[in-house]
C-alpha cells in the first residue's frame, strides 16, 4: 500500500502546476515528500512538495482533471491518497468525501521521463555544462515571476506561433514571438550573476514555451542554455526543474 496525507490546497496547486491539459501523472512518494515529473518531446518538468506520513512508492493518477476537480470541490484541510499498486484503483479521502478512480497501467505523461532523466543526471553531474553532446555555456540567475508576461503571448498573438530566445551576456534574456502580419511581442527578463561567452546565444521554440514559463516558481531561478539547444530553468532549493527542448526556427516576416 502506498499512502500519504497532505494539505488540500497545497496539493491542488502542485498538481495544477504541470499544465492545464495534463491528463495523467505519477507521484513518487517518500516519507516527507512528493516528487512528480512529466516528460515529452517538447519538455521535461519536475516539482516537489512536502507531505507527512508518506509510505514510499508510486501513486499513479490516470484521470488528473477528475482528481483536481474533486479536491477543489471538497475544500477540506487535509487529503489522503492510497493505492495498492500502479494499476490499482486510486482511493482519495478528503473530509467526509471519498473518490475512487480506476488507474491504467500506461501513463502518457511518463512515456519519456526515464530517458530524459538519464540525460539530466549526466548534465547535473557535469554541473550543467552540457546537454547530451551540446554545450551549455550560458548561465545566469533571474526571477521566475519576470517570465510570467510571456504567458500572454497566446492571447496577444492569435494562432500557433514560434518563439525566439536570446541570452544577452550584458544581462538580459529576451523572448519574442509573432510576425509583422500578426504583430510581435517581446518579454525582457533581467539577468544577474551571468557566466557566458561574449556573444549572444539564440534558440527557437514552439508556441508551447509561454505556457511552460507561466508554471515557473516565483523567486530566484537559475538558467542554463546554449546556442540552438535546450533551455534549462531550475530552483534547486524547491526541487523545481524545467528543460525545454529547442526546435528548428523559421523567422517570420
Residues of the chain with pLDDT under 70: 249-253
Give yes or no for a contact between 214 and 151, defined as CB atoms under 8 angstroms apart: yes
Q: Do domains 2-109 and 113-244 have the same CATH topology?
A: no
pLDDT-above-90 percentage for the chain: 76
Task: Place domain 2-109 in its CATH homologous superfamily.
Answer: DNA Polymerase III, subunit A, domain 2 (3.10.150.10)
Residue 46 pLDDT: 97
Residue range 79-102, pLDDT digits in tens: 999 999 878 999 999 989 999 999
Per-residue cell: 152: 500572454
- The domain spans of the chain are 2-109, 113-244
Neighbour count for residue 241 (Cβ, 10 Å): 19
What stretches of 73-162 adopt beta strand conformation (E)?
78-83, 90-94, 97-101, 130-131, 134-135, 138-143
- Collapsed DSSP state (helix, strand, coil) of residue 189: strand
Main-chain dihedrals φ then ψ at residue 77, nearest 5 degrees: -65, -40
- CATH number corresponding to 113-244: 3.70.10.10
Neighbour count for residue 190 (Cβ, 10 Å): 12
Amino acid at each position: 500500500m502506498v499512502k500519504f496525507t497532505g494539505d488540500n490546497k497545497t496539493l491542488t496547486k502542485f498538481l495544477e502546476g504541470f499544465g492545464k491539459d495534463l491528463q495523467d501523472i505519477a507521484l513518487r512518494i517518500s516519507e516527507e515528500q512528493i516528487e512528480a515529473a512529466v516528460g515529452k518531446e517538447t519538455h521535461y518538468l519536475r516539482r516537489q512538495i512536502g507531505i507527512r506520513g508518506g509510505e514510499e512508492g508510486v501513486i499513479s493518477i490516470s484521470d488528473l482533471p477528475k482528481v483536481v476537480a474533486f479536491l477543489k470541490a471538497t475544500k477540506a484541510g487535509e487529503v489522503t491518497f492510497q493505492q495498492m499498486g500502479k494499476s490499482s484503483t486510486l482511493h482519495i479521502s478528503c473530509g467526509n468525501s471519498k473518490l475512487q478512480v480506476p488507474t491504467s497501467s500506461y501513463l502518457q505523461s511518463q512515456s519519456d521521463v526515464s530517458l530524459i532523466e538519464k540525460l539530466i543526471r549526466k548534465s547535473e553531474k557535469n554541473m550543467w555544462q552540457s546537454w547530451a553532446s551540446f554545450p551549455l555555456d550560458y548561465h545566469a540567475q533571474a526571477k521566475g515571476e519576470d517570465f510570467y508576461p510571456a504567458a500572454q503571448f497566446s492571447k496577444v498573438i492569435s494562432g500557433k506561433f514560434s518563439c525566439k530566445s536570446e541570452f544577452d551576456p550584458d544581462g538580459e534574456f529576451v523572448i519574442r514571438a509573432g510576425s509583422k502580419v500578426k504583430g510581435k511581442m517581446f518579454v525582457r527578463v533581467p539577468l544577474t550573476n551571468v557566466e557566458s561567452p561574449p556573444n549572444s546565444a539564440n534558440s527557437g521554440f514552439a508556441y508551447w514555451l509561454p505556457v511552460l514559463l507561466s508554471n515557473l516558481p516565483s523567486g530566484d531561478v537559475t538558467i542554463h542554455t546554449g546556442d540552438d539547444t535546450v533551455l534549462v530553468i531550475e530552483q534547486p532549493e524547491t526541487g523545481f526543474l524545467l528543460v525545454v527542448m529547442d526546435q528548428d526556427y523559421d523567422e517570420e516576416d
